[in-house]
Structure 1
Amino acid sequence: MIAEERRALLLTKLREDGYIQVTDLAEEFNISSATIRRDLILLEQEGICIRKRGGAVRSTQGVTMELPYDIKQHRNIDEKSRIAAAAIDLVEDGDTILLDAGSTIFQLACLLHTRERLTVVTHDLNIAYKLATNPKINLICTGGIARANVYTLQGPQVVDFIRNLRVDKSFIGADAIHSDGTISNVNIEEVPIKQAMVKAASQTILLCDSTKFGTTAFAKVCELSDLSAIITDKGVPEAFLQYCDEKNIKILAT
């Protein structure tokens, strides 16, 4: 395959899917991974994509494009680890908690072995798998319909299950936080799940890295003012720090 053909192929994949996984594309089109990586370097220099571990994402993703978990889990790893380390300090022995889906929440789940007598409810299959063998945790899965590539459960079964709960804390994620304080999500079917988590908890803590601030996604989840606290990294724009201060929203930038 000549360079022009490869370039056209990569551009098409980025436009249609919003992301490229190098190994998958190399196998599908019999192109060496090294060749694809070289092409992605050139596309990144042109501002067309942003290279990530294992592939690349379109530089402008749009409000409805959801990245596969295999891409998201390799983005902003250090930031997510620091966020999780701060979040575990809010979890007390004996707590009943709801864990939202996502790679940042997963990092928190990896630290729950440091606590005792926890009851954890989740619709994230990766989190459930991680916690299933921990004897210190009473793990409850919501049920629902499994979604491909993101490893979560969704549907009215999830929402109905959570609506009947009362928990100490909900830890939720976000796809975007608009400048007006709106928290939003690219997948509208996840919105009622997140909203149910907020209503079910005495405290709701948002875990998200700073790249989510100042962006927009398709469907509104809630307002920043609906949260008990936000844990993020030090890259949060100053305008959001001021907004949280004015609204008396607790924000911890790790």
Structure 2
Amino acid sequence: MHRVQRKDLLLEYLCQKPFHEMNHVLEYVSKFNISATTARRDLKELENEGIITMSYGGINFLGVHNKSCSIDVRASSINFDKKMIIAKKILNLLEKNDVIFVGAGSTCEVFVTLIDKPVKIVTNSFRILQLAKDNSNVQYNVLIGGKLREKSQAFYGSLCEESLSLIQFSKVIFSANTIDETGAVYKSNEEEARVELAALARVQTKILLADSTKFDKVGFFKFYETKDVSYLVTDKPEVAKQYNLNVSII
């Protein structure tokens, strides 16, 4: 697991209350195959960043319960097992030298850490950029700029969309916040969704990611249809197949 994801996992646990015993924290992260040595190193980084303080046998979280943890910071560790299943499935759809637009989102973040073929990545997500640069299989890593949305660390706006119109992609990989029973795909932020629409207009192979908790739900901004994507990748295909989505489900 990448360092950024490990720290998010720790934050998701630590921000539940002001104080934790060290042995409880180490027991929690061991469920994700994170060693005590690695966890202590990550905790030291969080302490250096002023997020926690460590004392003998304990950790003090300096925020006030969940209020200090933004939804996006915690998102990477929520349903992490589902996201890992999806990310591994995507690898079978990649080809050498693909030029891929990767949208913002925690499942996409897991995916870029696992890429096992030489590819080029273009993204509007600063977090994707950070994770992809540490993967030696990512030969070319481009961040498209514009206006920055602080909460998600993703860029948006006309400059971002115009830049994407100049690039031809072999694949676009993007995620859904929710998908309703008719196959309508929703995002929580309209501006970020419009960036992904600009990329989708430049590609034939469109890969939509959604874990099994996302189905049969209406979201905020409807921006796409499952019938228009090439593949819908999910952790439990049997859940998606309950609905009339008109798409190849993996």
Tell me the TM-score normalized by structure 1: 0.69
Instruction: Report the Cα offset of residue 208 of structure 1.
Output: 1.4
Task: Find the aligned partners of 2:141 and 2:126 in 1 and give their Cα distance.
Answer: 12
Contact 1:101–1:123 (8 Å) recurs in 2: yes
Q: Deviations over 1:28-74 (max 9, x none)?
A: xxx5569xxxxxxxxxxxxxxxxxxxx769xxxxxxxxx63212111
Q: Secondary structure at the match of 1:153?
A: strand
Q: Secondary structure at the match of 1:130?
A: helix
Match of 2:197 in 1: 195
Q: Deviations over 1:94-144 (max 9, x none)?
A: 1111100111011110112x212x221001111101222555411111111
Q: Check 1:155–1:79 CA distance in 2 against 1; reply closer, same or farther (3 A cut).
A: same
- The alignment status of 1:205 with 2:207, answered yes or no, reads yes
Contact 1:22–1:33 (8 Å) recurs in 2: no
**1:120-131 correspondence runs (5 A):** 120-131=121-132
Task: Find the aligned partners of 1:132 and 1:97 in 2 and give their Cα distance.
Answer: 14
Moved segments of 4+, more than 6 Å: none
Task: Find the aligned partners of 1:164 and 1:170 in 2 and give their Cα distance.
Answer: 15
Aligned length: 194
Match of 2:98 in 1: 95
Task: Find the aligned partners of 2:192 and 2:223 in 1 and give their Cα distance.
Answer: 9
Instruction: Report the Cα offset of residue 202 of structure 1.
Output: 1.5
Match of 2:146 in 1: 144
**1:5-20 correspondence runs (5 A):** none
- The alignment status of 1:165 with 2:163, answered yes or no, reads no
Match of 1:251 in 2: 249
Match of 2:79 in 1: 76
Instruction: Report the Cα offset of residue 154 of structure 1.
Output: 1.6
Identity %: 24
Q: Secondary structure at the match of 1:108?
A: helix
Task: Find the aligned partners of 1:32 and 1:138 in 2 and give their Cα distance.
Answer: 42
Q: Check 1:190–1:84 CA distance in 2 against 1; reply closer, same or farther (3 A cut).
A: same
Note the residue ranges of structure 1 that are not aligned, 5 or more in a row: 1-19, 35-54, 58-66
Task: Find the aligned partners of 1:226 and 1:196 in 2 and give their Cα distance.
Answer: 14
Note the residue ranges of structure 2 that are not aligned, 5 or more in a row: 1-10, 22-64
Contact 2:87–2:110 (8 Å) recurs in 1: yes
Match of 1:109 among 108, 112, 115: 112
Q: Secondary structure at the match of 2:181?
A: coil
Tell me the TM-score normalized by structure 2: 0.70
Contact 1:79–1:209 (8 Å) recurs in 2: yes
